[in-house]
């Protein structure tokens, strides 16, 4: 059993739906799961966690969802040492935005790596144009991800 925290960055709920689907699946597999969607306290959400999944959409032209910006900015400014942490990324986007496809998920990936955390597995990039059921794709991804922890 692993303690897993899911950080959700969302504007209109898809990344949250993915987070909840992962929560259900991971709980069913007897992991201890917490979902976090509020990041107003900046780095505090990182305390005590060693295994993280980031489920994050992209908005504007390649921008982070508003709710997760405080975490990103605090990490960028303070560069906490996350060398003890493993993480996975599910980036939600839309290929129509070809220049900024999944950019916020990629930015979250980069900032965790820059702080020394180790990404487990490949980043999942979900295209809203071709994948109407991101939660199903995410569940398939997390089953594989668990084997790599």
Ligand X SMILES: Cc1cc2nc3c(=O)[nH]c(=O)nc-3n(C[C@H](O)[C@H](O)[C@H](O)COP(=O)(O)O)c2cc1C
Rule CB under 6 A: which residues touch ligand X?
10-15, 57-62, 65, 92-94, 97, 100-103, 128
Q: Which 3 state secondary structure label does DSSP give 3?
A: strand
Closest separation in Å from C-beta 19 to ligand X: 9
DSSP state string for 60-87: TTTBPPGGGHHHHHHHHHH----TT-EE
User: Given the complex with ligand X, which of 8 and 26 has the nearer CB atom?
Assistant: 8
Closest separation in Å from C-beta 53 to ligand X: 14
Closest separation in Å from C-beta 97 to ligand X: 3
Closest separation in Å from C-beta 102 to ligand X: 5
The residue number whose beta carbon is nearest to ligand X equals 93
Closest separation in Å from C-beta 37 to ligand X: 10
User: Given the complex with ligand X, which of 64 and 111 has the nearer CB atom?
Assistant: 64
Distances (CA, A) of 9 to 28, 40, 44, 65, 67: 23, 12, 16, 6, 6
User: Given the complex with ligand X, which of 23 and 58 has the nearer CB atom?
Assistant: 58
CA torsion angle 94 74 43 87 (round to 10): 40
User: Given the complex with ligand X, which of 64 and 115 has the nearer CB atom?
Assistant: 64
Provide the 10 A C-beta neighbour count for residue 127. Answer: 16
User: Given the complex with ligand X, which of 104 and 115 has the nearer CB atom?
Assistant: 104
Gap between the terminal Cα atoms of the chain: 11
């Amino acid at each position: 059993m692993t303690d897993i925290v899911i950080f959700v960055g969302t504007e209109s709920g898809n990344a949250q739906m993915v987070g909840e689907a992962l929560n259900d699946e991971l709980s069913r597999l007897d992991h201890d799961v917490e979902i976090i969607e509020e990041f107003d306290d900046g780095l505090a959400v990182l305390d005590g966690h060693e295994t993280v999944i980031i489920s994050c959409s992209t908005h504007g032209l390649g921008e982070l969802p508003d709710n997760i910006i405080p975490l990103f900015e605090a990490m960028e400014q303070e560069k906490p040492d996350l060398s003890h942490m493993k993480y996975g990324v599910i980036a939600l986007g839309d290929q129509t935005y070809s220049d900024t496809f999944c950019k916020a998920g990629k930015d979250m990936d980069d900032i965790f790596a820059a702080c020394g955390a180790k990404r487990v597995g490949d980043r999942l990039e979900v295209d809203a144009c071709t994948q109407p059921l991101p939660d199903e794709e995410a569940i398939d991804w997390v089953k594989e991800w668990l084997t790599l922890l």
